Amino acid sequence: MPHMTIKTISRSEYMTALAATRMPWQERYYAFYSSVLGGIVTDPVLMQVPADDHLVHRGDGVFETFKCVHRAAYNLDAHLERLLRSAKEIAIEWCSGVAVQRLAQHSSAATAGDSIRDSVLQTLAVANRDDCLCRVILARGPGGFGVSPYESPSPALYVAVYAAGTPFMQAHPGGARAMRSSVPVKSGNWATFKHCNYLPNTLIKREAVDGGCDFAFSFDPHGFLAEGAAENVGIVTPQRELLLPKTDYILAGTTMARVMKLAEKLLADSTLTRVVFADITEEDVRRASELLVVGTTIDVASACVYDGAPIGNGRPGPVGTRLNALLAQDVIENADLRTAY
């Protein structure tokens, strides 16, 4: 019999113990929906996921993160479409009976996507913030601690609303520092959909931080540029071409897709000569006029140093600067991509 030094917490003591776990950073957490609880909580210490959800102990789930500006979710439908595509890859099928039934009263064609969308917008409304980030997680759900997904009787949906940070170039007007990562890219189609097993991404970010950089980039087995920890990356060549990695070993970002669309304006005035997916070598990166980093939370950042050497003239360039401004404008003004809450 071991010497017992850990106390056993009763149901009545649980809430007191939980309240004592509150940390300062949790003030940035605004609202959390859990289909397991069947509702929304605003107290950060209640934003819990069951330990036996396979999301926790197997990384078995998919997710999306999008930004909200001026009380509207940006590009929400594109994110939810990719969420459901990712869920299909790992055979998670969402069906919340209550939400779908309620939506069906207003539409005979209510879908799982409609149900998730409804839960997202209600959670954002409860959070009641003009600007924020929102993460949607579709998980295998509670059901056991084994490896079989069939332990879980039904999937679980979680929606977290939390504070948005300052856009990267606003916080770092001189640009970013970047480096090559030693972490291999995900193999096969594991790189091309957004699942919750983010261990390689975490290790890439750790390398960047430990290396004194803002971003680190992986390269595919053929030596071509792939992606960052949670960002897409591309270059502007001396010939004024915007090149983005082919999507064989990367997640095709929703923000990257918008940036490519917005880049058409730079083609029209000859700032750029073409915008294409291409095989990009590390030597291409070193010779680039600009090195651009694109993501939901950072917008378009200019990396001005790569592995200790300057990119171009070592300052943010015209293409990155304009694309960042065009994206910021798109987030605020593109009514087709803004969903009010």
- What's the pLDDT score for residue 99? 45
Cα dihedral 295, 193, 163, 330 sign? positive
Q: What does pTM read for this prediction?
A: 0.93
Q: What residue type is 80 in one-letter code?
A: L
- What's the pLDDT score for residue 280? 98
Q: Which of 292, 222, 286 is nearest to 253 (CA)?
A: 292
Which residues belong to the active site? 194
Work out the angle between the directed axes of helices 112-127 and 76-89 (0-180°, nearest 10): 130
Q: Is the pLDDT of residue 107 over 70?
A: no
* Per-residue pLDDT band at 76 (split at 50, 70, 90): very high
Q: What is the DSSP letter of 187?
A: P
pLDDT in tens, 280-320: 999 999 999 999 999 999 999 999 999 999 999 999 999 99
Strand partners, 278: 245
Extract the runs of DSSP E, i.e. beta strands, from the chain: 29-34, 39-41, 61-68, 72-74, 132-139, 156-162, 176-180, 215-217, 232-236, 241-245, 274-278, 290-295, 299-306, 309-310, 338-340
Please give the radius of gyration of the chain, using alpha carbons only, rounded to the nearest integer. 22
The helices-and-strands tally (H runs, E runs) of the chain is 11, 15
Please report, rounded to a whole number, the percentage of residues in the chain having pLDDT higher than 70. 96
- What's the pLDDT score for residue 98? 46
- What's the pLDDT score for residue 188? 81
Q: Which two tokens stand for residue 322?
A: 């304009």
Q: Whole-angstrom Cα distance, residue 9 to residue 16?
A: 10
Who contacts 277 (Cβ-Cβ below 8 Å, separation ≥6)?
Answer: 243, 244, 245, 246, 247
pLDDT in tens, 16-51: 999 999 999 999 999 999 999 999 999 999 999 999
pLDDT in tens, 213-238: 999 999 999 999 999 999 999 999 99
- What's the pLDDT score for residue 111? 78
Output the average pLDDT for the chain. Answer: 94
Q: Whole-angstrom Cα distance, residue 233 to residue 245?
A: 7
- What's the pLDDT score for residue 283? 98
* Per-residue pLDDT band at 103 (split at 50, 70, 90): very low
For each of the domains in the chain, give its residue range(s) and CATH number, in order of start.
11-162 (3.30.470.10), 168-335 (3.20.10.10)
* Pair 189, 197: CB distance under 8 Å: no
Q: What residue type is 18 in one-letter code?
A: L
* Pair 73, 66: CB distance under 8 Å: yes
Q: Is the pLDDT of residue 109 over 60?
A: no
Please report, rounded to a whole number, the percentage of residues in the chain having pLDDT higher than 90. 92
SS3 201: helix
- What's the pLDDT score for residue 105? 53
Cβ neighbours, 10 Å, residue 26: 13
pLDDT in tens, 120-171: 999 999 999 999 999 999 999 999 999 999 999 999 999 999 999 999 999 9
Q: How many residues are listed for the chain in this entry?
A: 341
